[in-house]
A and B are shown apart, each in its own frame.
Chain A
Amino acid sequence: MASFDQPVLLSEPDDDPERATVLLMGLRRGGKSSICKVVFHNMQPLDTLYLESTSKPTTEHYSSLIDLAVMELPGQLNYFEPSYDSEKLFKSVGALVYVIDAQDEYLNALTNLAMIIEYAYKVNPDIHIEVLIHKVDGLSEDFRLDTQRDIMQRIGDELLDLGIEGVQVSFHLTSIFDHSIYEAFSRVIQKLVHELPSLENLLDNLVQHSRIEKAFLFDVNSKIYVATDSSPVDIQTYEVCAEFIDVTVDLNDLYENDTSNLKCSSVLQNGYILTFHKMIRGLALVTLIKDADVDSAMAIVDYNIEVFNDALKEIWKKSIVHPIK
């Protein structure tokens, strides 16, 4: 993986309004550090059992299509102590991700969450609030939906009691043992990409003109997708595409070819074609093509994807010259 675009030396997060910051909060032992390690550091889910408790706020930076900082707060911290500059903190973040342990008693967490929402919303009305109902791998299928409904209901009531309405809160059922955590993080991060509408438009165009079934724009290191075309996301397609990245990168590493222009395609027995094309800034476009003649289809797809890559470069150049607020 070392050969892919590495983040350059980055400036202090607070002075940089362009960086999207995700704040990760929750009660202790909720699984916040595990999420970070699995999504951004490729740690095996089982190894996260041995993680130490996080004792102080940690910030990590990722440079992908957008510059991203994930800040993790220890669960046992009291945010409302006057010594802690929480106002500045909440003003600077784009999204607040609150992790609830679904296998534990969650009433405390809900009260805690409602307080945080009230405060954060007052300081920064533009903040995106995302709730991860986490560790659902231990719950049965029916029970998951019941839990989600219960939590949504209670949060709604809590917020009503506090007198705040109209806060948009999104809920995700997640587990680090399958791809749901990547899916949830993809959706969170997509809300922070200002250029998302144009990206989706570009992808839609690409899909229409190349007989592509589904196209994902992935961040290669984390396997989070920053954009996809407007057709609905099928979780299985996402999984196959994400795993195809592994295949490409691993095979390529074995023979140490240069990675400047990496592309890969695979044909399946029933005529599906999977393709991988490396884009700018550590991104990769992975597409699924259905029912096509391999040779003719690939020529068109290759050409169109090149055009797409040029468009990406243009967008990125523009957004640097005129920062969109």
Chain B
Amino acid sequence: MRSIIFSNFSAFDTRRLGATIDVEHSHFRFLGNMTLNLWDCGGQDVFMENYFTNQKDHIFKRVEVLIHVFDVESKEVGKDIEIFTKSLSQLREFSPDAKVFVLLHKIDLVQVERREELFKIMMAKLQDVSNPYGFRLTGFATSIWDESLYKAWSSIVCTLIPNMGQYELNLTKLQEIIEAQEIILFEKTTFLVICSSNNGKSAGQLTNKEGLDPKRFEKISNIMKNFKQSATKLKSQFKTLNLNDNLFIVELSSNLMIFVVMTPQKSANDAGLIQENIKRARVHFQ
């Protein structure tokens, strides 16, 4: 899934990936001033053994986030959990402040009705085993074949952004000024959600219209990522989009995209005005 989120692979392309040998390091610049160092640890027993013995201080030192991925189809759940607790105990020793995320992956292979139940059971169990180590878990059920992957990664990345409060404040103000139904901020290359105007308290009543799809953020990430892919066929990159003079996607800075939806009755005649407003807002998001 690293390839999908960060390297523009399609879900179909991931079949060609080989096994990861030892640890594959990669780093991504995110929002300009932030660098994510991603350590993709190969999961074969030989490597695993190594992580917990010889390399343990190298691996577990100064960890901000642990993302532990469980295969829902795995036959050896007991062994999987054992490895998980092993890493937790190392983590407590070397970086006790790390945030722990658990992804129940390949959920697409489970029948739709059973997913919720399975996820609850598994999370309860995992929280149980991690309690002695003092970690609070955040869990997601994910699949590379739908938008759930974007939701998980979006939440993970958001916990790492230092000046989140500022973004939210600015966004809420902008929303009030242009009287939008909803505004969402995306990171430009990955199209992960940074924050939305729904998070703000004052904007709450204005935007929290019932009946909107609760998964819409992830779906937009997914749709736009696909469209970005297809734009490469014209040897170009996506810049702006305007749907019915009502829904706008515009570049806000060199690493942010902004997504604005106007209330239907407000739009139509002042598309130019809205675009001008967004242009003015750029200064505050640099």
Contact = CB atoms under 8 A, between A and B. Distances in A.
Given A243-B227, A244-B227, A250-B223, A237 B234 contact: yes
Given A243-B230, A250-B219, A255-B212, A268 B243 contact: no
A267 B240 contact: yes
B242 A265 contact: yes
B261 A255 contact: yes
A269 B238 contact: yes
B233 A257 contact: no
A185 B244 CA distance: 30
B231 interface: yes
B84 to A, nearest CB: 32
B234 A236 contact: yes
Contact of B238 (A239, A252, A264, A266): A266
A251 interface: yes
Q: Please classify how large the interface on chain B is, using the bins under 10, 10 to 19, 20 to 34, 35 or more.
A: 20 to 34
Nearest to B233: A236
B264 interface: yes
A272 B244 contact: no
Contact of A262 (B213, B224, B244): B244
A268 B238 contact: yes
B234 A248 contact: no
B240 A251 contact: no
A247 B227 contact: yes
Contacts of B244: 252, 257, 261-264
Contacts of A266: 227, 238-242
B246 to A, nearest CB: 6
Interface in A19-50: none
Contacts of B241: 247, 264-267
Contact of A252 (B213, B234, B243): B243
Given A239-B230, A252-B244, A262-B244, A270 B236 contact: yes
B235 interface: yes
A43 to B, nearest CB: 14
B171 to A, nearest CB: 18
B231 A257 contact: no
A263 to B, nearest CB: 6
A246 B224 CA distance: 10
Contacts of A257: 244, 246-247, 264
A223 to B, nearest CB: 13
Contacts of A251: 220, 223, 243, 247
A239 B240 contact: no
A250 B264 CA distance: 17
A169 interface: no
A240 interface: yes
Contacts of A240: 230-231, 233-234
Contacts of B211: 256
A8 interface: no
A254 interface: yes
A270 B234 CA distance: 9
A239 B234 CA distance: 10
Nearest to A259: B244
B216 interface: yes
Interface in B174-233: 181, 211-213, 216, 219-220, 223-224, 226-227, 230-231, 233
Most chain A CB within 10 A, of B224, B226, B243, B247, is at: B243
A219 B223 CA distance: 20
Interface in A87-134: none
Nearest to A269: B237
Given A247-B227, A267-B239, A255 B233 contact: no
A264 B243 contact: yes
Nearest to B145: A44
A138 B265 CA distance: 52
A255 B180 CA distance: 13
B223 A270 contact: no
A247 B226 CA distance: 8
Contacts of A258: 264
A240 B230 CA distance: 6
Given A248-B243, A252-B243, A243 B226 contact: yes
A243 B234 CA distance: 12
A254 B216 CA distance: 6
A46 B124 CA distance: 34
A237 B230 CA distance: 10
A247 B242 contact: no
A272 B236 CA distance: 8
Contacts of B239: 266-269
Contacts of A244: 227, 230
A237 B233 CA distance: 8
Contacts of B240: 266-267
Contacts of B247: 251-252, 255, 257
Given A247-B226, A251-B220, A257-B264, A272 B242 contact: no
B219 A268 contact: no
The 10 closest A-B pairs by CB, nearest first: A269-B237, A268-B236, A270-B236, A266-B241, A243-B230, A264-B243, A236-B233, A267-B240, A247-B227, A267-B239
5 contacts: A257-B244, A264-B241, A266-B242, A268-B237, A269-B236
Interface of B: 181, 211-213, 216, 219-220, 223-224, 226-227, 230-231, 233-244, 246-247, 261, 264
Given A252-B243, A254-B219, 11 more contacts: A236-B234, A240-B233, A240-B234, A243-B226, A247-B224, A248-B243, A251-B223, A263-B244, A264-B243, A268-B238, A270-B234
